[in-house]
Chain A
Amino acid sequence: MVPLSWYLTVAALLFVLGLYGVLSRRNAVAILMGVELMLNAVNINLIAFWRYTRPDNVAGLVFAIIVLTVAAAEAAVGLALFIALYRLRETVNVDEIDLLKG
């Protein structure tokens, strides 16, 4: 059987890659993609821990489903925001959105 640490390693790599995407990409949609990757990494963790420690307890699955739900909601709202932003500023580049610059 595959060791738990392997799954955790994959999840960690996915998370770090998502994080890098969030921090380095200029396009807001790309940043949203990074976020989705990070959420997936979390879900992998949740399910892996469910499978390897408490397979008879469905709590891990329940929270994975809730994370899924939140991701969907986030995608929907994020998309709406981008469209509104694009309409206002003609851009979705995050580094051009700096109204709070000191």
Chain B
Amino acid sequence: MDTLLVLIPALPFLAFITIVLVTNHDKKLSASLTIGATAISWLLGWYFAFRALLHPEHYASHPMRWEVPWFPGGHSVFVTGFQVDVLTAAMLFMVPFLCLLIFIYSLGYMEGDPRFSRFFAYLALFATGMLGFILADNMLLAFIFWELMGVCSYLLIGFWSFRKPGETHIDHAQVVRARNASLKAFITTRVGDTVMLAGMVLLYAMTGSLRWSEVLSHETLEMLAHKVTTVPIFGAAPWATVLAILIFWGAIGKSAQFPLHVWLPDAMEGPTPVSALIHAATMVSAGVYLIIRTFPLFHIVEGYNGAMWFVAFIGTFTAFFAATIGVAQFDIKRVLAYSTISQLGYMFAALGIGAYVAAAFHLIMHAFFKALLFLGSGSVIHAMHHGHHVVHEHGHHEDLGGLEFNPNDMRFMGGLLKKMPITGWTFIAGGLSLAAFPVVTAGFWSKDEILAEAWHNGHFWVFWTLAIAAFLTAFYTGRQIFMTFFGEPRTEAAKHAHESPKTMTYPLIILAFFAIAGGWVGIPETFPVLGHIGRGWFQSVIATQAEAFHIHVEHIPFNPTPALISMAMALGGLAVAWLIYGTRPLGFEDPLERPLNGLWTVLHNKYWIDELYQNTIIAFAKWLSVTLYKFDDVWVIDPFVDGVGRFGRWLAFTTRRFIDEQIIDRLVNLTAWVSNLLGEWFRQIQTGQVQNYLLAILLTVAVLLLLGVV
């Protein structure tokens, strides 16, 4: 039965192959293949997931396995395969299910796109990447699927990066933006991946294996923790710390943490289902999952733990940093993008302070409500686009305050709740979950857990930073909801918007259910009154896994202080947002733009990090390549090569002139001349006259006779 594990990633892959090779002309069939394959993967995935989740004690230490020998290594055969332990099961609960919902949603969203079949092929490949990654039982296989996701993200973000002549569904500016965004995503994540690859190679060099079960075994980790190496600048550090930080860089790239976060907001150029896929179910979750998976490596060093500290710092900083940027964005998807970065920061912060269970919990919950939010925003954009199209057909030209119309821009929305109630209400549910609206939403339980752990473990700077970030999160979520769904429509397009098709709204409803109720599986047992409903089921399951990794999970007692602060932040943020954006009609200018002035500019321009990279690293790279080009083609190498060529030509010329023509040729001519001369001589003998020959014979006979006689 465990052999069926291989089908989970294989089925979407087969769908991809089939679409690309055979069915790409039939849009319906292609979409059906992808969705069908993913549906089967989902059912299989849930079968394995629930098997593991319902018997965590057994499967935490004895995962379900399917493995084959891959290639022979130096001393052993490299075995590869798939495994499902409790941690994988939690992901397996979330990933294929979300993929399936997003794929169904894509049916409606991508309708009429000229490259519909191709889109579904890419989606299937993306699903393959993520499923393979979470199931892989060794780091090498995981890395392969990880990179497969990288490729797919490149393909999907840049899905609109070209158009054939006569295609009108996208304009030229969008093509250029999509192209740049896809390159940016690919190259930026590659930076992290390269460091991670170094970590992986070092890990193999140190342990001789890449299988999770061997690398993360307690003995190996102890060995890594006690072996000390010297790192330049930082000084002596245990190998475990070095490897952990190197691997963490992969997660920084993939999960868009602070220095490498720039690709994620730009990734919005892809079709919205892709954004949902990247932000919720796959890409960014992969980074967090990687760190949760390798958490024992981070955790093993006792005393001062540089890796944990680093993770906590990056996570906390990113959570706050991204939240501030989110406040000052107008693009509905960009706000969500920064919220994703911020929420991922929460997860890393949780891991950094050792809150293993909370991080996993938040990862799963976040995936559900963020998928919901993205799909909802996609629905809104779809409606705005449609509305704009209708208005445009009727020949209306309205004044947009000097701005160009953009269906993503929240300034042009407003009052959409009445036009599209299903989208509106589900979006609000997701938004409240993101804002951690107390008690009812999933986001509250997972985020509250992180804050509680931070408080309990005495990481106050982490706690307060995250708390402020929580306030900002609630604020910009509220701002988004009020700007989009409440008030009066501010443009004709918004007035003409209407509800999206059922293939799009049904996934929203399902996700809304999980965004609210999903958190109930993780209500801490110690929480007053409600603790008896959930009994901390999720925590206990994941804790079993953690214990199998020799990570001690503390059952923290309920502390009202952090819980109240968390509630206050969430409600406060929403309230402030309501005061600013909900109480009076909005124009095309943000009410905060004037009061905040300079700060607003800084935030709106994302701290100019993109420009900074553009003017430093990218400029340096460009300068370097130009210089190297000149070194190669203009200054040194080419002249050298040309010189060698010229010398060769000169040598050949000289040789020809003085040796070939003067000596060899003359010798050859001499031979010919001698032959000719001899021929000229001897041809005279050949007179062709019989009598001459006879005379010669006679003379010969006469001479012979004479000799014989004498």
Contacts and interface: CB of A to CB of B under 8 A. Distances in A.
A70 to B, nearest CB: 19
B690 interface: yes
Contact of B687 (A24, A31, A101): A101
Interface string A12-39: 0000000100111000000100000000
Interface in A64-101: 94-95, 97-101
Contact of B691 (A22, A100, A102): A22
Contacts of B685: 102
A102 B687 CA distance: 6
Interface of A: 19, 22-24, 31, 94-95, 97-102
B688 A100 contact: yes
Interface string B669-687: 0000000000000111111
B637 interface: no
Given A19-B698, A23-B695, A94 B683 contact: no
A88 to B, nearest CB: 16
Given A102-B682, A102-B683, A102-B684, A23 B689 contact: no
A102 B689 CA distance: 10
B343 to A, nearest CB: 106
Nearest to A99: B688
B617 interface: no
Interface residues of B, number: 13
Interface of B: 682-691, 694-695, 698
10 contacts: A22-B691, A22-B694, A23-B691, A23-B698, A94-B691, A95-B691, A98-B688, A99-B688, A100-B688, A101-B689
A23 to B, nearest CB: 5
A22 to B, nearest CB: 7
Contact of B694 (A23, A95, A98, A99): A23
Nearest to A31: B691
9 tightest CB-CB pairs across the interface, nearest first? A102-B686, A98-B688, A101-B688, A102-B683, A100-B688, A98-B689, A95-B689, A23-B695, A101-B687
B681 to A, nearest CB: 10
A12 to B, nearest CB: 12
A98 B691 contact: no
A29 B690 CA distance: 14
B709 to A, nearest CB: 14
Contacts of A102: 682-688
Which of A23, A94, A95, A102 has the most chain B CB atoms closer than 10 A to its own CB? A102
Contacts of B686: 100-102
Contacts of A22: 691, 694
Given A101-B686, A101-B687, A102-B685, 18 more contacts: A22-B691, A23-B691, A23-B694, A23-B695, A23-B698, A31-B691, A94-B690, A94-B691, A95-B689, A95-B691, A97-B689, A98-B687, A98-B689, A100-B686, A100-B688, A102-B684, A102-B686, A102-B687
B422 to A, nearest CB: 112
A101 B685 CA distance: 9
Nearest to B682: A102
Contacts of A19: 698
A22 B686 CA distance: 19
Contacts of B698: 19, 23
Contacts of A95: 689, 691
A98 B684 CA distance: 12
Nearest to A96: B689
A24 B694 CA distance: 10
Contacts of A100: 686, 688
A74 to B, nearest CB: 15
Contacts of A98: 687-689
A19 to B, nearest CB: 7
Contacts of B690: 94, 97
Contacts of B689: 94-95, 97-98, 101
Nearest to B693: A100
Contacts of A24: 691
A94 B695 CA distance: 14
A82 to B, nearest CB: 14
A94 B686 CA distance: 15
Nearest to B680: A102
B661 to A, nearest CB: 34
Contacts of A97: 688-690
Nearest to A101: B688
The interface centre, meaning the residue of A19, A23, A99 with most chain B CB atoms within 10 A of its CB, is A23
Contacts of B683: 102
B501 to A, nearest CB: 103
A87 to B, nearest CB: 20
Find the residue from B691, B694, B698 having the highest chain A CB count within 10 A: B691
Contacts of A101: 686-689
A99 B698 CA distance: 22
B685 to A, nearest CB: 7
A100 to B, nearest CB: 4
B130 to A, nearest CB: 93
Nearest to A20: B698
Contacts of A31: 691
A102 B678 CA distance: 13
Contacts of B687: 98, 101-102
